[in-house]
């Protein structure tokens, strides 16, 4: 019986670049980002809102397939 040296296939090193965009929503700073390919979310910076996270950002929506649709739905400029 002889041993074979079999190495597992190398993991893929290709990564997909996800998009992001800074702008405004009303009088607040806004940040739209692609969390996975074709899945955009929008946050606004509103540290006085009790629902905002510890960093002052409040998620106002997620699940849009494009930046254009996220911008239109969330009222980004």
Distances (CA, A) of 39 to 2, 31, 66, 67: 51, 14, 7, 9
Contact 38, 66 (CB under 8 A): yes
Question: In this predicted model, what pLDDT tens digit does every residue of 43-55 receive, in sequence order?
Answer: 999 999 999 999 9
Please give the model's pTM, rounded to 2 decimal places. 0.76
Reported confidence tier of residue 9, pLDDT bands at 50, 70, 90: low
Q: Domain boundaries in the chain?
A: 20-74
Reported confidence tier of residue 4, pLDDT bands at 50, 70, 90: low
Indicate whether 30 pLDDT > 90: yes
pLDDT of residue 47: 96
Residues 6+ apart with CB under 8 A from 39: 62, 63, 64, 65
């Amino acid at each position: 019986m002889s041993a074979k040296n079999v190495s597992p296939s190398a993991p893929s090193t290709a990564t997909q670049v996800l998009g992001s965009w800074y702008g405004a929503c009303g009088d607040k700073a806004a940040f739209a980002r692609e969390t996975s390919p074709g899945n955009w979310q929008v946050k606004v910076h509103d540290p006085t809102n009790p629902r905002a996270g510890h960093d002052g950002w409040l998620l106002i929506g997620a699940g849009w397939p494009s930046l254009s649709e996220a911008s239109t739905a969330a009222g980004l400029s």
